Amino acid sequence: MLSEFGNPNDQCWHLVLLSCPRKLTSAPVLPKIPLIDYMSSRIENYALIGNMRTAALIDRSGSIDWLCVPRFDSGACFAALLGSPENGRWLLAPEHPVRQTRRRYLGDTLILETEFETETGTASVLDFMPLAEAGDKGRIARLVKGRRGSVAMATELVLRFDYGRIVPWVRRRDYGVLAVAGPDAVQLRTPIPTQGRELTTVASFVVSKGETVPFTLTWYPSHKDEPDELTAPDLMLGQTDAWWRKWSARCRYEGEWRDSVVRSLITLKALTYSPTGGIVAAPTTSLPEQPGGVRNWDYRFCWLRDATFTLYSLITAGYTDEARAWHEWLLRAVAGKPEDLQVVYGVSGERRLDELELPWLTGYQGSRPVRIGNAAHDQFQLDIFGEVMDSMYAARRCVTGLDDDAWRVQKSLVQFFESAWNQPDHGIWEVRGERRQFTHSKVMAWVGVDRALKTASEFGLRGDLSRWRVLRDKIHQDVCARGYSFRRESFVQCYDSTELDASLLMIPLVGFLPTNDPRVIGTLKAIQRELMVDGFVARYHVDNHSDGLPADGLPAGEGAFLACSFWYADVLSLLGRRAEARTMFERLLALRNDVGLLSEEYEPVSKRQTGNFPQAFSHVGLINTAHNLTLAAGPAVSRSTH
């Protein structure tokens, strides 16, 4: 295949790439590389690898199409996921047609094996990220192993920094190649001779049964010395395998869905930024809620709303160290005046997450704009105050040795509730329109005051309890009077409205009302009747929901929101309708891709996953619902009976 690129000994590429780095104001136009044709892939065709600082997505074809270095929220050096191969990717796959592709993770690890069967033999690629030994390096290892016969393999490395915008210098080294642009430098180490052609590094080789061909890609700050390769790839593989298996063995869940729960816990761990304990919502940005649509958001940050659900999923599964780290991240992030509390923070607690659009990227399957940053950080969302209070209470009950500073934070939040609980807000779904009196937000304000009262009572802490009880009762009465429609026999999305919202499923799950209350039963029936799409739960009807964006597709303008579907199963479980809950749970399990991963949403018409991927909130829901269906006092019971 190298003959298609000209003389394999031609070194002219070196002269071309040693010109200055180039910033591209539009998508770079490169000649088509005939090595292996590129096709836009479905979201569920990707698998995840990571090192708890960042993560990469690998397509079934063997192409790494997304990688941000050194952090989840850093610029991408592989951005083909949101554009084309010209925006950066690393393909490693057979040269000739593949009869069959099989993928799996090696046991309870985050080491991906992709096996390619061809006419001449079978080869597999082991992809993993060794755990970062220092914060200023990130590494991907790819080991090609011959399994049967011999297979002609090819690699195609297209490095583009700053989300596919900057073409780096490339220099030849004894170990392979070095690419540099601005603050970024990347080494490719391999014993296979590489060629440069049209701003791309390519190579061909043959792997036979029993042989291993290694590739290692290492990012480091360009102003530092080139790092040495001190650890052999096979040794890194063994160390990474041993670490993940030891971590996974700590899982206390022993029910029938253990494999699924462990895989979701591994995914959650992979989305943790280990230096701080923060957990990102997803490792991607701008994967659309509907392909071709405009609801494309950056999820590479930490949402406060996820705090309580995440804590329960970790604690119930036995991961108290991770729960403590997440709680401590939360306390650091929210430090300051209550009115300055944000919806979302950076992985180290950063508050400035200014939203920008990247015009040089065409978007996933044409879904534009591509965004980095998230303007939701500047919204007022009342419900997050309740989530923070609930998570602090849950952590105090379940995790020992927590700092007493949490109580000072809680008391200041209650004081804030007294003046803010009746204010309109942007709501749980971060509506980009006018503020409203969202029922779910008021319920969570009630939760905030309720958890403060319970914290003081159970742990002997001082506070103005009589005043807080009056406030809690006032909020409860207001919600029941204005957030419930007697005509519809259901709670509604906003005060004095008629629309439904799946967030109303939280009313029994947080203990606002008993699950068997007629108003809860009526709400459940209404959601089942009006928001179920092919057996899954949509968030709301966008057609009647003015968020400044057009409705585009299903009645809800998007796929079914998977977290809402897990909540629905949890409510059924609390009602004792376990057979129905189990059916819903198994239907959700069936949506996972071949390596057990879930995105944010599922579009039942085209039967595909949509939204950012993999989504921590979806996997947290899976973990919690599995426990709810297995344990007598799972997370839903614990939270609803506070």
Contacts of 191 (CB under 8 A, 6+ apart): 213, 214
Whether 276-640 and 2-221 are alike in CATH topology: the answer is: no
Q: Is residue 64 scored above 80 in pLDDT? A: yes
Give the pLDDT score at 134.
57
Among 97-101, 102-106, 553-557, which is the least confidently predicted range? 553-557
Give the pLDDT score at 541.
80
Contacts of 523 (CB under 8 A, 6+ apart): 490, 491, 504, 505, 507
Contacts of 590 (CB under 8 A, 6+ apart): none
* Band (338; pLDDT cuts 50, 70, 90): confident
Among 372, 320, 319, residue whose Cα is nearest residue 346? 372
Give the tens place of pLDDT for each residue, 159-195. 999 999 999 999 999 999 999 999 999 999 999 999 9
Domain ranges of the chain: 2-221, 276-640
- Residue 214 to residue 176: CA distance in whole angstroms: 12
- Fold classification of 2-221 is Beta-galactosidase; Chain A, domain 5 (2.70.98)
Q: Would the pTM of this model clear 0.85, i.e. be above it?
A: yes
Mean pLDDT of 567-581: 97
* Band (62; pLDDT cuts 50, 70, 90): very high
Among 172-181, 324-333, 439-448, which is the least confidently predicted range? 324-333
Mean pLDDT, the chain, integer: 89
533 vs 7: which has the higher pLDDT: 533
243 vs 606: which has the higher pLDDT: 243
Mean pLDDT of 462-475: 97
Among 444, 401, 414, residue whose Cα is nearest residue 308? 444
Give the pLDDT score at 543.
53
Q: What percent of the chain has pLDDT over 70?
A: 90
Phi-psi sector, 20: left (phi>0), alpha (psi -120 to 50), beta: beta
- Residue 255 to residue 261: CA distance in whole angstroms: 9
Give the tens place of pLDDT for each residue, 17-41. 333 333 333 333 333 434 444 457 9
* Band (559; pLDDT cuts 50, 70, 90): confident
* Band (398; pLDDT cuts 50, 70, 90): confident
The two beta strands, 344-345 and 302-303, are antiparallel
Mean pLDDT of 414-437: 92
Q: Is residue 544 scored above 70 in pLDDT? A: no
Give the pLDDT score at 38.
47
Give the pLDDT score at 148.
98
Give the pLDDT score at 7.
29
DSSP E strands: which ranges in 223-339?
272-273, 278-279, 302-303
Give the tens place of pLDDT for each residue, 472-522. 999 999 999 999 999 999 999 999 999 999 999 999 999 999 999 999 999
- Residue 116 to residue 97: CA distance in whole angstroms: 10
The CATH class that applies to domain 276-640 reads: mainly alpha
Q: Is residue 5 scored above 50 in pLDDT? A: no
Q: Looking at residue 88, what DSSP letter applies?
A: -
In the chain the first and final C-alpha atoms are separated, in Å, by 66
